[in-house]
Structure 1
Amino acid sequence: MKKLILGTAALALSAGMGLAQDVVRLGTEGAYPPYNFINDNGEVDGFERELGDELCARAELTCEWVTNDWDSIIPNLVSGNYDAIIAGMSITPERDEVVDFTQNYTPPSPSAYAAMSEDADIEGGVIAAQTGTIQANHVVDTGATLLEFPNPDDTVAAVRNGEADAVMADKDFLAPVVEEGDLVFVGEDIPLGGGIGMAFRESDPELRGKFDAAIQTMKDDGTLNELIVKWLGEDSPRF
């Protein structure tokens, strides 16, 4: 769901294809619930953990999970630190110039504003968003003042402590925050992005193809929609 501001990163020719390895390493942020987060046992959890494990089983691959900060998640894929990204990443033309995506495993979901009160100024005020996301780009386009933070929890904290008038993020991320009772949704939902997909090095088309096929089987048998409802809620778009 989020759009990385791409830095210049040279493709590591030594980064071998995931299929040539005993273990396929899945890179995620681990800080964007309900998509991905670290649970009380210190393990990656959430929608993408369950999805990724199922995709690996269907593709008959042995996988392990690796966490990486959002702002360097694509460069570290390209340089070979892991073999795929499964981290709430929207499929965008800008990213597609650097990595190859599977088909989307969620439809485009709405973004939303949340604030301490319904009369918050979302057009001319200070809006918090995570660095390098489609929401941050949208705030700039609206003319509001963007206040960027490296992780999503800090964007919510900025609203609660008065640094920002509102936060903009994926509605699926903000919904549990709003349910806590001190923040409310403000304004209309805003559709951004083209759905979430897995990202791979351009040198790994066979590995990408295996996961793409596995995603299709989950769409075909309805299990992907079941996971979307389980983790993202009944109101989240599904296939």
Structure 2
Amino acid sequence: MHVQLSKLRQAYRSRVVLDGLDLTLKPGVTGLLGPNGAGKTTLMRTLATVQPPVGGTLTLDETNVTSERTAQAVRRRIGYLPQKFGWDPGMRIRDFVEYAAWLREVPDDHRSQAVEQALHQVDLADRRNERMSRLSGGMRQRAGIAWAIVGRPGLVILDEPTVGLDPRQRLQFRRILSELKDTTVLLSTHLIDDVAAVCDRVVVLHSGRILFDGTTTEMAAHGREGMPGGTPLERAYMELLPAEERHL
């Protein structure tokens, strides 16, 4: 899916969060970095058509999202995992993921296969009949990832998806993303090593504006010695922040 934001403006009542944002997303994995309050969640909710733009344009493929009708037309091709997602405690994992496939209008004759594929990708196939209420935090997070990727939507938006995952599960998550190279993926995370491992591109957001947009290699080149951080990418991130926010 090709995504185009042009002069996007987003606000909560009188507080402007995004003002005049221009961004293009194409197939591949884009990492979204930024401090708390930078506008990352607002941007993702807007892309997921949860929150209509206050101004500017949002275009997904050939559809300019201007109303709930046009939002519904593209929503079935979007997989969105918010940082805190809802679930029915009595629902089994398989039913939870199948419900996502149904919402995404995966055809009936392909739905079971799509659900099983997603469960296998997150290593939950053998727990498919476990109830959501009985899962550990990490397992529930993996069920959420399966929700987002089932049916191979054209746009996948993931907000802090590795929270609660152990190191092995994080490596597995990276493998899952490597299999989505033909999908447009936006990954928001505070774990810069995840960005370095799986992202083709990185966008740094601060106070509703883009401080950097380029490849991980291009960003790493900004990291100078003496800045906080254990890797060039971490040092580059700190370098991009305003001076008053660089101190640990």
TM range (shorter): under 0.3
Query: Greater share of helix residues, 1 or 2?
Result: 2
> Could you state the TM-score of these two structures normalised by the residue count of structure 1?
0.28
Structure of greater relative contact order (alpha carbons < 8 Å, 6+ residues apart): 1
TM-score with structure 2 setting the length = 0.27
